[in-house]
């Protein structure tokens, strides 16, 4: 006699319907990817059952060490790879649907562009791929070249470009269609600190224009500075997901920033903490970040050419 009740059927996320919420730009459902060799044998499981959403108007960061599955996730979202399990939706459509690309801009990890074209030809070419008429292509090419600061190099072949310049023309091609959703893979790679800051400022500016941005980076500072929410991946698995400010906030530690205190007052504060059964972890002069210091020096140097920066000791 069989007493076991039939098991409830498992809902198969891969066959469920596409999302309809227009504020969800990207949605992955149990997204997985296994890389196989020529004979179909499993080489590596790059991504395991990833569930994330990227919401309209936010900067979403994908964070993780090398081999954590960040690039695989991006490639799955763009249809460059096909999932082994689960599904990925972009604008409510399957990630493999070509039509979604009309509204997407993509800056790859390295700027994979045709080196024999110059900046104008590159942007014109990508503009044509969006079926833009000549007048619109010309207008956008002009605006983007100015925006990324390549006016002087617009007629030079990309093979002559420095890494930073290549990155900038890469960004320009990603913006040629005025996309609603931007995918930026390591956007600050190869940029000097000033370029990095400009890139970060631009990313924030693009968000202010209403664009949604998915950013993938090793540079923790970049992610911290610009992202609204982050997903941290490790070994193909999602380890953390949430708002940057709440993730970074240490709930049981209080931070006080004060200026102009004498030693006596500092001593009273220590006593007060001790009286309240608190533990003083640290009290000293704060340090700025290296990035801030560097930028201050450069700014100061530009204001007063030829003199050693006042920050230097």
Partner 1 sequence: MRLTPDQFWTYWEWLFERGGLLGGFLLALILAVLGFIAGFLIATIKYGPAEGFLQVAKILGEFFTVDLPKMSIRRIFAIAKLSFKEAIRNRILIVVAVFVVAIMFAGWFLDPKASNPAQLYIPTVLTFTNWLMLLMGLFLSTFSIPRDIANRVMYTIVTKPVRPTEIFLGRVLGFVAVATMNLVIFGVMSYFFIVRGLSHTHDLESLQNDGLAGETTSVRFHSHSFTLNEDGVGTTNMVKGHRHIVRKVGDKVVVSEQVDDLTARNPVYGTLRFTGRDGEENTGYNVGYMSEYQKYIEGDTLSSAIWKFENVDPKLFPDVLNFDMTLSAFRTYKGDIETPVGGVVIFRSLDGEVESDRIPFRVKEFQIDQHSIPLKLKGFRKGEPADLDFFTDIAQNGSFEVVVRCRDRGQYLGMAAADLYLRASEGTFVWNFIKGYISIWLQMFIVVCFGVMFSTFLSGPVAVIATISVIVLGMFGWFIDNLTTGKISGGGPVEALVRLPLQSGSETQLDLGNEMIEGAIKGVDRGLLFSVSTLKSALPNLYDLETSDFIAYGVNLFDGLLARHLTIAFGYFLMTSVIAYFFLKTREMAG
Tell me whether residue 130 or residue 294 sits nearer to partner 1 (CB atom): 130
Q: How far is the CB of 83 from partner 1 (least distance, A)?
A: 10
What is the DSSP track for the chain? ---PPPPPPPP-GGGSPPP--TTEEEEEEEEEEEEE-TTS-EEEEEEEEE--EEETT-EEEEE--TTSSHHHHHHHHHTSS--SEEEEEETTEETT-GGGGGGEEEE-SS----TTSBHHHHHHHHHHHTT--HHHHHHHHHHHHHHTT-GGGTTSBGGG--HHHHHHHHHHHHTTT--SEEEEESTTTT--HHHHHHHHHHHHHHHHTT-EEEEEES-HHHHHHH-SEEEEEETTEEEEEEEHHHHH--TT-------S--HHHHHHHHHHHHHTT------S-----HHHHHHHHHHHHHHSTTS--TT--
Whats the size of the chain, residue-wise? Answer: 313
Tell me whether residue 23 or residue 102 sits nearer to partner 1 (CB atom): 102
Q: How far is the CB of 1 from partner 1 (least distance, A)?
A: 34
For partner 1, the binding residues (CB under 8 A) are 35, 40, 75, 78-82, 98-99, 101-102, 104, 106, 108, 110, 112-114, 116-117, 121, 125-126, 128-131, 173, 177
Q: How far is the CB of 115 from partner 1 (least distance, A)?
A: 9
Tell me whether residue 112 or residue 151 sits nearer to partner 1 (CB atom): 112
Q: How far is the CB of 308 from partner 1 (least distance, A)?
A: 44
Q: How far is the CB of 108 from partner 1 (least distance, A)?
A: 5
What is the DSSP track for 171-217? HHHHTTT--SEEEEESTTTT--HHHHHHHHHHHHHHHHTT-EEEEEE
Tell me whether residue 110 or residue 192 sits nearer to partner 1 (CB atom): 110
Q: How far is the CB of 247 from partner 1 (least distance, A)?
A: 30
Tell me whether residue 131 or residue 252 sits nearer to partner 1 (CB atom): 131
Tell me whether residue 63 or residue 78 sits nearer to partner 1 (CB atom): 78
Of the candidates 53, 74, 50, 61, which has an alpha carbon nearest to the alpha carbon of residue 244? 61
Tell me whether residue 159 or residue 266 sits nearer to partner 1 (CB atom): 159
Tell me whether residue 120 or residue 228 sits nearer to partner 1 (CB atom): 120
């Amino acid at each position: 006699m069989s007493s076991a009740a039939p098991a409830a059927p498992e809902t198969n996320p891969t066959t469920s319907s596409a999302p309809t919420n227009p504020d969800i730009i990207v949605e992955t459902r149990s997204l997985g990817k296994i890389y196989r060799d020529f004979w179909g044998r499993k080489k590596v499981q790059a991504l395991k059952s990833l569930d994330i959403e990227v919401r309209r108007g936010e900067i979403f960061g994908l964070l993780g060490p090398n081999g954590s599955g960040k690039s695989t996730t991006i490639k799955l979202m763009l249809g460059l790879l096909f999932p082994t399990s689960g599904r990925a939706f972009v604008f409510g459509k399957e990630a493999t649907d070509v039509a979604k690309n009309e509204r997407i801009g993509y800056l790859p990890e390295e700027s994979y562009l045709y080196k024999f074209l110059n900046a104008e030809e590159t942007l014109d070419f990508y503009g044509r791929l969006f079926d833009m008429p000549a007048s619109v292509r010309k207008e956008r090419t002009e605006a983007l070249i100015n925006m990324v600061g390549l006016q002087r190099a617009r007629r030079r072949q990309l093979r002559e470009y420095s890494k930073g310049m290549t990155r900038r023309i890469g960004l320009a091609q990603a913006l040629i269609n005025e996309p609603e959703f931007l995918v930026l893979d390591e956007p600050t790679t190869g940029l000097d600190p000033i370029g990095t800051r400009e890139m970060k400022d631009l990313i924030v500016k693009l968000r202010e224009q209403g664009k949604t941005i998915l950013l993938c980076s090793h540079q923790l500072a970049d992610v911290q500075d610009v992202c609204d929410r982050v997903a941290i991946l490790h070994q193909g698995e999602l380890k953390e997901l949430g708002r940057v400010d709440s993730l970074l906030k240490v709930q049981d530690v209080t931070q006080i920033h004060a200026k102009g205190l004498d030693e006596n007052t500092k001593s009273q504060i220590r006593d007060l903490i001790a009286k309240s059964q608190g533990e003083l972890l640290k009290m000293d002069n704060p340090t700025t970040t290296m990035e801030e210091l560097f930028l201050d020096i450069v700014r100061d140097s530009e204001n007063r050419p030829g003199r050693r920066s006042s920050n230097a000791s």
